Structure formats: structure tokens, C-alpha cells
Structure 1
């Protein structure tokens, strides 16, 4: 699948990493050159600098052959313009757009070319399922070469593992924590690290099912 992602912030970057791992051809766009420079070598996607609201740049970045466009900038106006261009000008089959301000949610529909409107607080896996139309997270994120699957879980105020050390959590067999994303930054999974509300954990496993991962932490 050819994927074009506008916005290389935390959300856009995570989407690019996961969809690239699932063997999709991903282009990640942003108008912040410093942000893109920091991502060089860290994200297995083609990085393009510029304003994604520019039709010429969208075409240069692959909009004509894109199967999916994700408008994931931090500006709702930009996301709407990108979505409209993707759908009306480039006839992209599927367009997903991030809704930053809930008051603007009513705008994010087919009139603006949006197939899937996703609130900013939506977990990464759910967003990708919605954006791609996939209902099977495991199938989408299977890493066929390594024979493992990728899962995400988020620690909340209600999670029973809140405040517990990572090493105290009994994981399903064949499962390891790949990283903890805290305040937008990935950190090494130190067993002594105490889990906090808002922590996003990415795990890999070759045996566990999604409900087992959820049960271990929630």
C-alpha cells in the first residue's frame, strides 16, 4: 500500500513507523526542516519537506498513486485542505484526518473529502485500523520476516499497573516490551521503570493475542 502522511509530529511519525514495519511504502511530509532532520535514519519512510497544502508538492510526493492519505498535522484547517485535495484533486481511495479541536469535528466528513475522522486522543492502533479500513490489528502489523506481532497499550489512571515497576508485570510467554513512549519520547524499557498514566507501551510477541496484552496491563 502507498501511504502519504502529512505531519511529522508524534502521531504522524508513529503511524509512519508502524505502517513501514508492515511493509507499506510510506512518505512522511512536514514543513519543519529541523523536525525532519531529527527523523533522518530513525523512520523507514521517505521524508519530504514542504507544505502539504500545496497541490504540486502533494503530487511530487506521490498523491497520484497513494492508496491512503493521512492528514495528521496539528492544524485542523490544514488537515481539511489536505483531505479535500487528496480526495477531489488526486482521487485518493481513502483519506483519514486528525481532529485536533473537537469543536471542529462536524467539518470532518465527505464534504471535505474525509473518509475517517480521528480524534487526537485516539490510540495509535485504533487510528491505523480506522485509517486503513483494517479490522484485524494483528494482520495489519504482522512482521512477517521476524515472525512477531506488534501491539500497543496505554496506561491510564484506572490501569492496575499504574505505579508498578515494569519488571513486576507478568507478560504473556514470548512477549517483550519494545519501548515506552512517554511525553512523546521513546525510552528504553528498564524493568525498574514505574509506569505512569499516559505511558504508551509498544510490545512484540510471537505467541500472545491482543486481549492477553490488554489483560496484563489493564
Structure 2
């Protein structure tokens, strides 16, 4: 799947990491050149600097061939404009958009090109099959044909994994840590990395259940 994400904030970068971990072709756009520079080397995706409200920029980023566009900027007006352009001008098959202000939720529908409205409070969502609730450990992305789950778990002060190196964590068979989100930034995990309260981990697994992943860290 070819995915185009607009907005390089926390939600956008997390979704990019999830989709890239599931071997999708991902492009992330952000209007801030410094933010794009900051993400260089931290995300296995194509990074594009520019204003996604501009049709020429969206086309440069690959909107004409995208299967999915996710508008995750912090501005509802921008997300609506991006969604409308994606659907009407570039005929993107599926468009999801973040709703920052709940009072604007009624606008986020197919009139503006939005197939799926994403409430700002949603920590991470499956943009392919389902949106999940905010729990300590949630399945984010289910690729039933490939048999792959991407699962998020958060480290709290009470987590037994807090303070331990990743090398000391025993994961269920067929599971790997795709990334560690620390202070809003995706970090490439290394065996020597020590987990801290507040860290969020994305675990890709072919067989483990959410509960098994939770037990490994909590």
C-alpha cells in the first residue's frame, strides 16, 4: 500500500512508523523544514518539506498514486483542505483526517473528502481496518492477509520493564520492537536502550496476542 501522511507531529510520525513497519510505501509531509530535518534518519519513510494545502506539493509527494492519505496536522482547516484536494483532485481511494476541535467533527465527512474522521484524543489508530480504543496495550494495525499485528504498549513507573535494557526483555516468538517513541520522537531501538516511564513501544508480531505483549513489559 502507498500511504501519504501530511503533518509531522507526534500522531503523524507514529502512524508513519506503524505503516512503514508493516512494509508499506510511506511518504510524510510537513510544512516545517526544521521538523523534516529532525526526522531524517529516524523514520524509514520518504520525507517531504512543504505546504500540503498546495496541490503542486501534494502531487510532488505522490498523491496521484497514493492508496491512502492521512491528514494529521494540528489545524482543522488545513486537514479539510488537504482531504478535499486528495479526494476531488487526486482521487485518493481512502482519506482519513484528524479532528483537533471536537466542535468541528460535523465537517469531517465525505462532503470534504473525508472517509474516516480521527478524533484528536485517539492515541494511535489503524488506518487500514479499524480504529481502536485508548488502552494500555492496543492492536493498532491488523494485516489479516499477512498475519501481522502492530501493537502499542506504554511504559509507566509501575511497569516492570522500566529501567531495563531492551536486551533484557523476553519477547514472544515472532515479535520484534519496531520503534520506541520517546518524548514524541521515534527512536531506533538498540539492545542497550534502557526503557523509561513515558516510553511507547510499537511491537510487530506474527503470532503474539496483545496480552502476551503486555505481560512482557508490564
Q: Same fold (TM over 0.5)?
A: yes
Other-structure match for 2:64: 64
Deviation at 1:210, TM superposition (A): 2.6
Separation of aligned partners in 2, 1:67 and 1:3: 6
- The answer to whether 1:114 aligns with 2:118 is no
- The answer to whether 1:137 aligns with 2:132 is no
What is the CA deviation profile of residues 109-156 of structure 1, one whole-angstrom value per residue up to 9, with x for unaligned ones? 11111000001221324455448xxx99342696x9xxx75321346x
Partners of 2:11 and 2:123 within 8 A in 1: no
- The answer to whether 1:208 aligns with 2:175 is no
Other-structure match for 1:158: none
Deviation at 1:35, TM superposition (A): 0.7
Separation of aligned partners in 2, 1:44 and 1:141: 23
Greater share of residues in helix: 1
Change in Cα spacing, 1:192 to 1:165, as seen in structure 2 (3 Å) is farther
Deviation at 1:215, TM superposition (A): 6.0
Partners of 1:30 and 1:51 within 8 A in 2: yes
TM-score scaled by structure 2?
Answer: 0.76
Name stretches of at least 5 consecutive residues in structure 1 with no aligned partner: 156-160
- For residue 164 of structure 1, the aligned residue among 159, 163, 186 is 159
TM-score scaled by structure 1?
Answer: 0.76
Change in Cα spacing, 1:109 to 1:125, as seen in structure 2 (3 Å) is closer
Other-structure match for 2:134: none
